Structure 1
Amino acid sequence: MSTPRPFPSAKATTSYWRSTTLPIDTHSSTKDLPAHADVVIIGAGYCGTSIAHHLLTESKRQGHSAPSIAILEARQACSGATGRNGGHLKPDPYLRAARILETHGKKVAEHVASFEARQVQDVQDLIQSSGIDCDFEETMVSDVCLDNAGSFKTGQALRKAVAAGISTAQTIERTTGLEAERSLNSEIANEHKVSGIRGAKSCHKYKAARLWPYRLVCQMLETCVSQGVNLQTMTPVTSVLPQGDGEGWRVTTSRGSMTAAKIVHATNGYSSGLLPELRDRIVPVRGICAHLQGQGPQPPISDSYMLRFNDFEYDYLVPRPDGSIVVGGARRDYFKNLESWFNVDDDSTLIEPARHYFDGYMQRNFLGWENTNTQTEQVWTGIMGYSADGFPYVGEVPAKPGSYICAGFTGHGMPQIFHSAKHIALLLLNGKVDKQHAVPVPYQTDAERWGSSQEHSSLTLWRSVTEGSQLRSKI
């Protein structure tokens, strides 16, 4: 198990996305830390960078000068979860909405689903208007269930979301039975081309996007720095304490200290390192990804993928423009070993039981790939921030005026962060957020949610899986 106060490892495994870094990777805007900033953002990943971006653009839109902004990053720019993920910008158009229908009702469920979906277009607009080179591609997702129980549950969730009028669920195409498995590369003229996944029981198809996340964030950071943001990489923050006069914060780092009028914790899985009251609310969770490269001819893939093997085991996959593949997941080989992934903040080592999970991955799962020579080129780990209830924490920290958090995205940050960051930026600038730009109700911070004592949902799932395994072994 990790220490009670998670902090980024000094050295991390190298992800495919970070194999070639950009000049801003270890940038320091000034030799020394600034003495003061109006806003200090802790974390230079997608979240922290997006907050700075929105502070600058919203200040300009509102017709006033931007606050002074400093971004402090423990390691290199975008060296955390965003620089280690699967490259998906994939909203959830129906599963989460179906669950929220039961707990919060239709209005909130629609807000959650549409909130994610809107971000694909808005991020695309930013990329195009700013000329960001990050291999952005619109894509269809083949979301495949490989067990009958999972197929039944996802079908039920889709029907529920459609019946409730959830906008994002209306255009999903569901295919079941043998048609869901049909090869993507069949030479039989009348054979449907659905998933191409061996053993598929059902397949849902819907729109999403994929990109090079490290390049997106670093080019956004370059723009922020060019507009006056002070970026300090390789500067781990060790404490954030209120100043004696009750006005603002003293931020202590490995390179000295500075003061700030307002603080933003964009620290995801490491949040409880500086906010210890979140120890059981946002937990560091280690995941694993790989880059696969073919040697010779291989069937083309256009879709991105979700492969759902059961309630706890799933993989995600994106094809790259050069024909290579990034795939993550591998829970089959490590999920039951809780200490290998839950409350683990160390991304300097691999999850050993899953080290070889990706070997032969395409050959065993994709029809038509059996005789290809696709090999594992690179494997890495990353630390995500899993919240206890599955929703991110976005808002002011209760009982700490001037302290804000945008973290706990539970492995699903790419379609939630950009607009969550705008919510924070508007709070910082205006003290409130209009209805149009507010995050969904389950994301918001309040004293009751902050102090909740419910068991972490990941632990609940782990218990059900391990207890079920023990039960089956006795039968």
Structure 2
Amino acid sequence: MGSINPHQIPPSPLPSKTSTTPFWRASLHALDNHRTTPSLPQTCDILIIGGGYAGIAAAYHLLASPEAKAKFASGAPKPNVVLLEARGACSGATGRNGGHLRPSVHTRLPMLIEEFGLEKAVELCEFEDAHVSAIEEVVEREGIECEFRVTRSFDVYTDEEEAGRAKETYLRLKGEGVAKSTMEGLVWMEGEEAEKISGVKGCVGCFTFSAASLYPYKLLTSLLHITHTTGNLNLQTNTPVTSLTQSSPPTSLESSSNTWTASTPRGTITSPQIILATNAYTSALLPEYTTKIVPCKGICCHIVPSPSCTPPELVNTYCLRLYGGSHDYLIQRPDGSIIVGGGRSHFLGHRGEWYNNADDSSLIEPAKCYFDTYMQDHFTGWEESGAKVQEIWSGIMGYCSDGLPHVGEVPGRKGVWVAAGFEGHGMPVIWLTMRGVVRMMDWGSWEGSGVPRVYETSRERLESGRDDYRAKV
């Protein structure tokens, strides 16, 4: 593979006008293509750009969460919030993921400890772990039907050498007493026991830990509906933002006033506060993130067994670390069908198919047949299941040059907030991140936000020449 000069990478384009259809979006919510008002409002108190997980979570925490309601009950004014989405609600990565709510930091702990120290590494682990109970709580409180299920997840190794390294790291960290709260829920199994319990052929070792599975589109569109009923959210779908300009800069260094204008094909809207929940597409509006958050294409599918067969139930979720570099992710839905994505081993060497590729209107050609006999090949008892791919789709993830999301007020852009670059791992990260962003906007400080400090966007990160992800591939 030839090297790519990062300075030659152009800013991300906007989301493609057409896209492959994911299983999750087979039945659309009433708000999917909704516009609260026929015309685009000219102004608002807070403008959110991006109608996926991050944008909807921000709107909910601003207007409909218990924290927001308590604030309004004490006399604080409700902000007028506008949410702009380039296509339909949850039409991007949120409506295309694997249905996993799977905290997974243990494999990165040694690197995180080495780079940031034990305290910050543990902070990150506990933050991801907290998402299982946080999402469970909101699902129960709001009465949302979204196939939410708390379970265990298997992290499966099929390579002896890789499994050995994972076990050695686990035992070393556990022996050193690293973060009891982080390690105590993590269980290691190996050999025949691991293959038998996981049900994965060729499994030589695996971790299990707490996780959950869900129907992401139903969760987020339900939260969007709840927030919309507050009357203070104006939703405008099919309204891409083409540029963001500072229309009223501060008059002095001491001045805190600031106004930003977002341009769309339907007109402009001005606001003093902007939240960019644009993930892979962030650099289209903030060019300083061009080499820091890069759009990367992935592939996922829905597999259905034959009606005449009842293969073994998979009570847990999975990450399968297979030969060739595939780290596939998998859940079983309540109806017995399977959502599985990954297939990296079949397309990683074809850089143009996925790297800096923001087009989800087509599949990744080298991997489009990867899942055809996936369950029969990898799971015991599924050999005669007749399982076949019913829907297959692509999605665009935002990968970061240093492996961590960018969160917080954008350096040099007062009033512009970013939460992006979740690397296909947003489900156990975004919910509490957006709660934290809303707190930062209210309090003017990172302290008390609850967001890991290593996520903070900064001029140092933006100016760094680091690019871990390209080094790996």
Question: Fold conserved (TM > 0.5)?
Answer: yes
Instruction: Report whether the alignment pairs 1:226 with 2:229.
Output: yes
> Which residue does the alignment assign to 1:372?
385
> Which residue does the alignment assign to 2:254?
none
Partner residue of 1:271 out of 260, 282, 294: 282
Q: Which moved more, 1:53-62 or 1:416-425?
A: 53-62
Q: What pairs up with 1:296-335 in 2 under 5 angstroms?
A: 296-297=308-309, 298-310=311-323, 312-335=325-348
> Which residue does the alignment assign to 2:255?
none
The CA deviation at 1:440 is 1.2
Q: What pairs up with 1:45-444 in 2 under 5 angstroms?
A: 45-56=52-63, 57=65, 58-62=67-71, 63=74, 64-162=76-174, 163-166=176-179, 167-182=181-196, 194-227=197-230, 228-246=232-250, 247-295=258-306, 296-297=308-309, 298-310=311-323, 312-435=325-448, 437-444=449-456
Give me the whole-angstrom Cα distance separating, in 2, the residues matched to 1:4 and 1:390: 19
> Which residue does the alignment assign to 1:41?
48
Give me the whole-angstrom Cα distance separating, in 2, the residues matched to 1:169 and 1:315: 23
> Which residue does the alignment assign to 1:451?
463
The CA deviation at 1:3 is 5.7
Instruction: Indicate if the aligned counterparts of 1:94 and 1:157 stay in contact, CA closer than 8 A.
Output: no
Amino acid at match of 1:461: K
Amino acid at match of 2:229: S
The CA deviation at 1:345 is 0.2
Amino acid at match of 2:147: D
Give me the whole-angstrom Cα distance separating, in 2, the residues matched to 1:205 and 1:245: 52
SS in 2 for 1:288: strand
Give me the whole-angstrom Cα distance separating, in 1, the residues matched to 2:215 and 2:321: 24
The CA deviation at 1:311 is 8.0
CA deviations on 1:375-433 (whole Å, 9 max, x unpaired) are: 11111000000111111001000011001100000111000001110111112222124
Amino acid at match of 1:398: P
SS in 2 for 1:158: helix
CA deviations on 1:357-392 (whole Å, 9 max, x unpaired) are: 001101000111112211111110000001111110
Give me the whole-angstrom Cα distance separating, in 1, the residues matched to 2:105 and 2:348: 26
> Which residue does the alignment assign to 2:253?
none
Partner residue of 2:27 out of 6, 15, 20: 20
Q: 1:310 to 1:38 in 2, by over 3 A?
A: farther
CA deviations on 1:254-278 (whole Å, 9 max, x unpaired) are: 1110101111110000011101111
> Which residue does the alignment assign to 1:466?
none
Instruction: Indicate if the aligned counterparts of 1:398 and 1:447 stay in contact, CA closer than 8 A.
Output: yes
SS in 2 for 1:258: strand
SS in 1 for 2:385: coil
The CA deviation at 1:160 is 3.8
Instruction: Indicate if the aligned counterparts of 1:97 and 1:112 stay in contact, CA closer than 8 A.
Output: no
Q: Which moved more, 1:60-69 or 1:210-219?
A: 60-69
The CA deviation at 1:331 is 0.8
> Which residue does the alignment assign to 1:186?
none
Give me the whole-angstrom Cα distance separating, in 2, the residues matched to 1:164 and 1:383: 38
Give me the whole-angstrom Cα distance separating, in 1, the residues matched to 2:288 and 2:406: 13
SS in 1 for 2:460: helix
Instruction: Indicate if the aligned counterparts of 2:376 and 2:385 stay in contact, CA closer than 8 A.
Output: yes
Instruction: Indicate if the aligned counterparts of 2:12 and 2:280 stay in contact, CA closer than 8 A.
Output: no
Give me the whole-angstrom Cα distance separating, in 2, the residues matched to 1:324 and 1:245: 54
Give me the whole-angstrom Cα distance separating, in 1, the residues matched to 2:229 and 2:259: 26
Give me the whole-angstrom Cα distance separating, in 1, the residues matched to 2:398 and 2:460: 20
Instruction: Indicate if the aligned counterparts of 2:186 and 2:207 stay in contact, CA closer than 8 A.
Output: yes
Amino acid at match of 1:132: I
Amino acid at match of 2:158: L
Instruction: Indicate if the aligned counterparts of 1:52 and 1:425 stay in contact, CA closer than 8 A.
Output: no
SS in 1 for 2:82: strand
The CA deviation at 1:309 is 1.6
Give me the whole-angstrom Cα distance separating, in 2, the residues matched to 1:429 and 1:4: 31
Amino acid at match of 1:444: E
Give me the whole-angstrom Cα distance separating, in 2, the residues matched to 1:66 and 1:445: 28
SS in 1 for 2:438: helix
Amino acid at match of 2:57: S
Give me the whole-angstrom Cα distance separating, in 2, the residues matched to 1:265 and 1:98: 31
Amino acid at match of 2:18: K
Give me the whole-angstrom Cα distance separating, in 1, the residues matched to 2:346 and 2:269: 45
Aligned residues: 449
Amino acid at match of 2:239: T
Instruction: Indicate if the aligned counterparts of 2:12 and 2:356 stay in contact, CA closer than 8 A.
Output: no
Give me the whole-angstrom Cα distance separating, in 2, the residues matched to 1:245 and 1:108: 36
Instruction: Indicate if the aligned counterparts of 1:98 and 1:158 stay in contact, CA closer than 8 A.
Output: no
Q: Which moved more, 1:121-130 or 1:292-301?
A: 292-301
The CA deviation at 1:93 is 4.5
Give me the whole-angstrom Cα distance separating, in 1, the residues matched to 2:58 and 2:165: 37
TM-score, with structure 1 as normaliser: 0.92
User: Where does structure 1 lack aligned partners over 5 or more consecutive residues?
Assistant: 183-193, 463-475
Q: 1:366 to 1:391 in 2, by over 3 A?
A: same
CA deviations on 1:285-338 (whole Å, 9 max, x unpaired) are: 000001000112222111111101258421000000000000000111101111
> Which residue does the alignment assign to 1:465?
none
SS in 2 for 1:165: coil
Give me the whole-angstrom Cα distance separating, in 1, the residues matched to 2:386 and 2:227: 43
User: Where does structure 2 lack aligned partners over 5 or more consecutive residues?
Assistant: 251-257
Q: Which moved more, 1:211-220 or 1:98-107?
A: 98-107
Give me the whole-angstrom Cα distance separating, in 2, the residues matched to 1:223 and 1:132: 10
Give me the whole-angstrom Cα distance separating, in 2, the residues matched to 1:94 and 1:222: 35
SS in 1 for 2:220: helix
